[in-house]
């Protein structure tokens, strides 16, 4: 009796381990495809090199964000890649993602090459995880070991995509709470936010801040107001999150300390709040940032559901298998 109780308890713990990032995921392993697809990491790496060499759009930023939005909304199961169908409305068109997420064609290209080498073997969720890692590494950021063995969901959860992701107006207590709910510490949250060292934001998402906030460098807001006026609904103007948007470095944190955070949720990390000391450390120590970011990205990849019937290795990342 006691033995079966202990077994059930262990099973429960393993289940929990799959749903929060704080625990290692016992079902993933860096060598998961060592025998079934040893070419995998080489294919992803060489394709990403090719893509980034020919890229003018900073697509690595888009691919890193794609992984975050997949994992944070119901686990790292590639649900974010599914196109809408007459039967269901997918996560791609949820408000935080619509007309904003990008990089889907790169995932299609990598998946095509991986399928040619190792048919029906590698999940789209694992391809996303490797692509995020290689994007960061190729843009001069840290590298980390990617744990593999995820499978792809056969269902989408637009509600999860709508409500689990933080927004550009989120304040510090909300950010801390949203990340804590998934097992992330304040340190993880701050380090992961440093992903905004890459890429840009649309005017509509930082307009309120540059026209209304007082915790902002006046020269910075004045320069941005020229291309993002309060009156015009200029949704196409964009601005970089930090001054080196194509290089993974700690300028994001240096800019926060100078009150040059682009969105309200960026500046929420600095200026009299609980996590100021972390922002200051990262602003002065690029290596510490890289180390903590890499560690938190592994945890992000642990947000992976373990059980359920609606799981498969998708052949085309945009749709469930027939
Ligand atoms: C902390 C809370 C976060 C909030 C509130 C937030 C919100 C946003 C918003 C509103 C944008 C701009 C989207 C657009 O203009 O279309 C953006 C861009 C971006 N986010 Fe976040 N994000 C957060 C955390 C993260 C994390 C944890 C990562 C990755 C680990 C990430 C990676 C990115 C990247 C790389 C971009 C630029 C994308 C591009 O250029 O295509 N973000 N984020």
* Domain of residue 143, CATH code: 1.10.520.10
- Per the DSSP assignment, residues forming a β-bridge with 250 are none
Q: Do 133 and 153 lie in a common domain?
A: yes
The answer on 161 and 31 residing in a single domain is yes
Q: Tell me the C-alpha distance between 249 and 304, whole Å.
A: 28
Domain count, the chain: 2
**32 and 154 assigned to the same domain:** yes
- Give the C-alpha distances (Å, rounded to integers) separating 298 from 2, 126, 304: 35, 12, 11
Q: Is residue 62 part of a domain?
A: yes
pLDDT given at position 157? 80
* 15 domain residue, yes or no: no
Residues 73 and 100 in one domain: yes
**CATH assignment of the domain containing 234:** 1.10.420.10
- Are 187 and 132 members of one domain? no
Is the domain of 307 the same as that of 285?
no
Helix, strand or coil, per DSSP, at residue 239: strand
Q: Whose C-alpha lies nearest to ligand 1, atom 33?
A: 65
**Residues 106 and 206 grouped into a single domain:** no
With respect to residue 46, please indicate whether it lies within any of the assigned structural domains: yes
The pLDDT, as a whole number, for residue 235 is 62
**Is there a catalytic annotation at residue 69?**
yes
As given in the structure block, the two tokens for residue 186 are 């304040």
Q: Whose CA is nearest to atom 1 of ligand 1?
A: 193
Distance from Cα 196 to the centre of ligand 1, integer Å: 6
Residue nearest to atom 27 of ligand 1 (CA): 192
pLDDT at 185: 98
C-alpha of residue 175 to centroid of ligand 1, in Å: 13
Q: Which of 72, 184, 199, 279 to mutate to test the pocket of ligand 1 (most atoms within 8 A of CB)?
A: 199
- The predicted pLDDT at position 182 comes to 95
Using the mean position of ligand 1's atoms as its centre, give its distance from the Cα of residue 260 in Å. 16
319, part of any domain: no
Closest by Cα among 144, 136, 113 to 58: 136
SS3 295: helix
One domain, residues 293 and 307: no
Structural domain contains residue 244: yes
16 assigned to some structural domain: no
The boundaries of the domain holding residue 204 are 172-298
**From the CB of residue 112, how many other CB atoms can be counted at a distance below 10 Å?**
12
Q: Are residues 157 and 194 in the same domain?
A: no
Whether 205 and 308 map to the same domain: the answer is: no
Residues 180 and 158 in one domain: no
Q: What pLDDT is attached to residue 137? A: 98
Residues lining ligand 1, judged by CB closer than 6 Å? 58, 61-62, 64-65, 68, 100, 102, 166-168, 170, 175, 192-193, 195-196, 198-202, 205, 263, 265
Alpha-carbon gap, residue 246 to 106, rounded angstroms:
18
- Give me the tens of pLDDT residue by residue for the chain, a chain 322 residues long: 444 434 343 334 334 434 456 556 778 999 999 999 999 999 999 999 999 999 999 999 999 999 999 999 999 999 999 999 988 888 999 999 999 999 999 999 999 999 999 999 999 999 999 999 999 999 999 999 999 999 999 987 888 889 999 999 999 999 999 999 999 999 999 999 999 999 999 999 999 999 999 999 999 999 999 999 988 765 689 999 999 999 999 999 999 999 999 999 999 999 999 999 999 999 999 999 999 999 999 999 999 865 566 789 999 999 999 8
Q: Ligand 1 centre and the CA of 286: distance in Å?
A: 20
State the DSSP code for 80.
G
The residue from 69, 140, 196, 211 that is catalytic is 69
Specify if 8 maps to a domain.
no
Pick the atom of ligand 1 nearest to 201's CA: 15
Both 127 and 241 in one domain: the answer is: no
Residue 320, in any domain of the structure: no
């Amino acid at each position: 009796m006691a033995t079966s109780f202990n077994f059930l308890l262990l099973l429960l713990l393993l289940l929990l381990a799959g749903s929060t990032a704080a625990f290692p995921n016992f079902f993933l392993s860096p060598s998961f495809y060592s025998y079934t697809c040893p070419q995998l990491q080489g294919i992803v790496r060489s394709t990403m090199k090719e893509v980034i060499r020919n890229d003018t759009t900073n697509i690595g930023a888009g691919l890193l964000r794609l992984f975050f939005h997949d994992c944070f909304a119901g686990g790292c199961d590639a649900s974010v890649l599914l196109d809408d169908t007459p039967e269901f409305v997918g996560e791609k068109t949820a408000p935080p993602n619509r007309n904003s997420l990008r990089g889907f064609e790169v995932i299609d290209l990598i998946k095509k090459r991986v399928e040619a080498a190792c048919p029906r073997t590698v999940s789209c969720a694992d391809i996303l995880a490797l692509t995020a890692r290689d994007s960061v590494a190729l843009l001069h950021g840290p590298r980390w070991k990617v744990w593999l063995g995820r499978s792809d969901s056969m269902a989408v959860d637009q509600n999860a995509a709508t409500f689990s992701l933080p927004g550009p107006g989120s304040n510090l207590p909300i950010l801390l709470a949203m990340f804590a709910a998934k097992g992330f510490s304040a340190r993880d949250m701050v380090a992961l936010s440093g992903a905004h060292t890459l890429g840009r934001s649309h005017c509509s998402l930082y307009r309120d801040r540059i026209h209304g906030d007082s915790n902002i460098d006046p020269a910075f807001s004045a320069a941005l107001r020229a291309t993002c006026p309060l009156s015009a609904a200029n949704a196409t103007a964009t601005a970089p999150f930090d001054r080196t948007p194509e290089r993974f470095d700690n300028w994001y944190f240096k800019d926060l300390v100078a009150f040059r955070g682009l969105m309200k949720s960026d500046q929420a990390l600095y200026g009299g709040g609980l996590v100021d000391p972390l922002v200051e450390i990262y602003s002065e120590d690029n290596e510490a940032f890289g180390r903590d970011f890499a560690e938190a990205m592994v945890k992000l990849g642990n947000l992976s559901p373990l059980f359920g019937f609606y799981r498969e290795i998708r052949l085309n990342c945009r749709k469930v298998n027939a």
